[in-house]
Structure 1
Amino acid sequence: MTEANGPSTQQIVEKVWLSIAERRLRPGVQLKEEQLAGIFAVSRARIRQALTVLERDGLVTIVPNRGAFVSKPSVEEARDVFFVRRTVERCIVERLCKSISKSDLKRLRDHVAKERVANAQDITTDIIKLSGGFHLLLAETVGSDFLFTTMRDLIARSSLITAVYRNTNRFNCGPDEHAEIVDAIAANDAEKAVHLMAHHLDHVESELDLTEIRDLSHDLRAALA
């Protein structure tokens, strides 16, 4: 495969992100440019671009003169991320309850429907992408670039934290709870929507074992297969 028809920078970023979220890449593993270039059949320049994006999202740490490594979130960082998410997502649902269009409600409900299909078919990759995508869609619907960018970063970090500390093999940010949140927003019931979102994030965090970092794969090629 030549670089001309090889994966784009964003596709490489997504592949690495999913490998982390699916628990196939462990924290601390080195992401060697030369090896990644061979795996994806692209130039090292494109790999460097992807690593820069992953560093921005908090998924990769680039150490001068050493290289790039999958980030190792601490227990304190994990708790901080969920604390911030509760604050930001409360703001998001409160604003949506004040004014949301029928077309935006349809987009949210269509998204939840896709989540149900992914869960019914047990497609892990789609489950992970759509679960985080729901929260991003809420932020996008508000129409605030700041809130959307903030949520994008928080979701990326949450994916890493969940991959490291989850005490179950299932990724359970489920469509039922998402659907209830959408129904509360549709009813303009801010108090209920805020309560449901808080409960939902409590549920996700309760499935984390914030005591130790799991020993995940060291094999970069196998993890990205």
Structure 2
Amino acid sequence: MHDTNITISAPIGRDLQGQTRAPGHLVYEALYTAILDRRLAPSTRLSKETLGRIFSVSTGTVQRALSRLAEEGAVELAPNQVASIARPCERHARELLEARLMIESQAIRLIGNRLTRGQLDDLRAMVERQRQCLAAGDHAGLIDQANRFHLRLAEHSGNPWLPDFLAKLLRRAALSIALSRSRAYSEAACDEHQAVVEALAAGDAERASQLMGRHLNNLFARLRFTPPPTEDLRAAFQGKLDSVQRRRA
């Protein structure tokens, strides 16, 4: 297990713009960002008492933040046990992938060929900011910029429901990507985003949709999943005892 390691970037009770925020939301956001920034690794134990002292809040407030993260698959909560950062889950990541494929591919088809030059330039600038984050080693910033790109495309679809649905998926997908500890967003991912933009610029929404599907599948393929620890003692030794006995003979 790892130790809790969290840095608070803004005073408790206020966000970076000085606006009042609920303590539970601040704890949630701080933990969420620490996971994205890879300051909290999978299996890190999250003591409510320790977190309460770090953030100067009650353990009940911490519990609410942990419960919210558990709902998103980022934290493991078991009765009478200390919470911990979740291990990457392939099933959870694949379910997110399938949902994103349905929403994002359709969103791009709805865009068609009606993007203005200014909108296309804005998308290109978003890809450039991703490359800058990649060069700076800003992992959390890179995921944030990539998510903004995907969300902006959904906004251009003209269907106001799609961005709302996608925003929730993107937050969960960001956690899944961060927990995998892999370089899912790489130079290749930036190139894939660029290719989608240029297909839209050419007025070929169908090709852009196909490129988005390929990008999302490639993103999933770059994730790394480690098997969960074995808790079944019988399964741990299944088929192994015969070889041990032969060596002792």
Opposite residue 195 of structure 1, the aligned amino acid is: Q
After superposition, the C-alpha distances for 1:47-92 in whole angstroms (9 at most, x for unaligned) are 4664465455443466677676544553222222212221211111
Higher helix share: 1
Structure-2 residue corresponding to 1:195: 210
Structure-1 residue corresponding to 2:122: 107
The alpha carbon displacement at 1:169 in A equals 4.9
Greater Rg over alpha carbons, structure: 2
1:77 to 92, 98, 120: 92
Once superposed, what is the RMSD of the aligned Cα atoms?
A: 3.4
Tell me the matched-pair count: 213
Secondary structure of the residue aligned to 1:142 is coil
Secondary structure of the residue aligned to 2:112 is helix
The alpha carbon displacement at 1:132 in A equals 2.3
Normalising by structure 1, what TM-score? 0.73
Structure-2 residue corresponding to 1:124: 139
Matched, 1:149 2:164: yes
Secondary structure of the residue aligned to 2:156 is helix
Does structure 2 conserve the Cα–Cα contact (< 8 Å) formed by 1:131 and 1:174?
Answer: no
Quick one: higher RCO (CA 8 Å, sep 6+), 1 or 2?
A: 1
Gaps of 5+ in 1: 215-225
Opposite residue 81 of structure 1, the aligned amino acid is: L
* Matches of 1:195 and 1:133, distance apart in 2: 20
The alpha carbon displacement at 1:207 in A equals 1.1
Gaps of 5+ in 2: 1-9, 230-249
* Matches of 2:164 and 2:27, distance apart in 1: 20
* Matches of 1:93 and 1:6, distance apart in 2: 34
> Which stretch shows the higher mean deviation, 48-57 or 94-103?
48-57
Opposite residue 133 of structure 2, the aligned amino acid is: A
Does structure 2 conserve the Cα–Cα contact (< 8 Å) formed by 1:139 and 1:147?
Answer: yes
Matched, 1:92 2:107: yes
The alpha carbon displacement at 1:94 in A equals 0.9
Q: 1:198 to 1:41 in 2, by over 3 A?
A: same
Matched, 1:163 2:178: yes
Counting only pairs closer than 5 Å after superposition, residues 1-225 of structure 1 correspond to structure 2 as: 3-5=12-14, 8-9=21-22, 12-27=27-42, 29-42=44-57, 47=62, 50-51=65-66, 53-55=68-70, 57-60=72-75, 69-72=84-87, 74-166=89-181, 168-169=182-183, 171-172=185-186, 174-212=189-227
* Matches of 1:101 and 1:94, distance apart in 2: 16
Q: 1:42 to 1:156 in 2, by over 3 A?
A: same
Identity across matched positions, percent: 30
Q: 1:39 to 1:114 in 2, by over 3 A?
A: same
Does structure 2 conserve the Cα–Cα contact (< 8 Å) formed by 1:165 and 1:213?
Answer: no
